[in-house]
Amino acid sequence: MQDQAIVQEIAQALYDKKGRDIIVLDVSKLTVICDYMVIASGRSAAQVKALADEADDRMARLGVPLRRTEGQNEARWIVLDYGHIMVHLFHQEERAYYNLERLWEDGSNRLVLPFDQTVPD
């Protein structure tokens, strides 16, 4: 499976778990850290943990091993490192504070996602 299809799968899994403000950025031309960043928010620590569990379950089913994870205990900002794909899951306040999109979005690298996030919960 191609990386772009994998990040679409992760985004869909996060959407299905009621993740908010989900974006996927192609950062392959901006950094050597990874090729794609998936960024999403949860409304509570429990939801952020649930989002992380769902993303990791989906990646495991796709055969993509988790290399490293950070932030599981506090669940304010959880990072899942799959090598070429990094998943950043934030509590809403931390998402607004760190604003990773500002750092990594260049105006042309946001992927179109297969769902409509304008529909209220």
User: Could you read off the pLDDT of 63-98 as tens digits, one per residue?
Assistant: 999 999 999 999 999 999 999 999 999 999 999 999
Superfamily of chain region 3-102: Beta Polymerase, domain 2 (3.30.460.10)
Q: Which two tokens stand for residue 105?
A: 């979005």
User: Could you read off the pLDDT of 18-31 as tens digits, one per residue?
Assistant: 999 999 999 999 99
Give the mean pLDDT of the chain: 92
Q: Would you say 80 and 66 are in contact if contact means Cβ atoms under 8 Å apart?
A: yes
Q: pTM score, two decimals? A: 0.92
Domain ranges of the chain: 3-102
> What integer pLDDT is reported at residue 107 of this predicted model?
84
Of 23, 44, 26, which is closest to residue 92 (Cα–Cα)?
44
Examine the pLDDT at 59 and tell me if it is beyond 60.
yes
In the three-class reduction of DSSP (H, G, I as helix; E, B as strand; rest coil), residue 55 is classed as: helix
> What integer pLDDT is reported at residue 20 of this predicted model?
95
> What integer pLDDT is reported at residue 117 of this predicted model?
80
Q: Would you say 16 and 113 are in contact if contact means Cβ atoms under 8 Å apart?
A: no
Examine the pLDDT at 53 and tell me if it is beyond 60.
yes
In whole angstroms, give the CA distance from residue 1 to residue 6.
7
**Residue found by looking up tokens 């989002």 in the block:** 51
Provide the strand spans (E) within 1-121.
Answer: 20-26, 36-42, 68-70, 77-81, 85-91
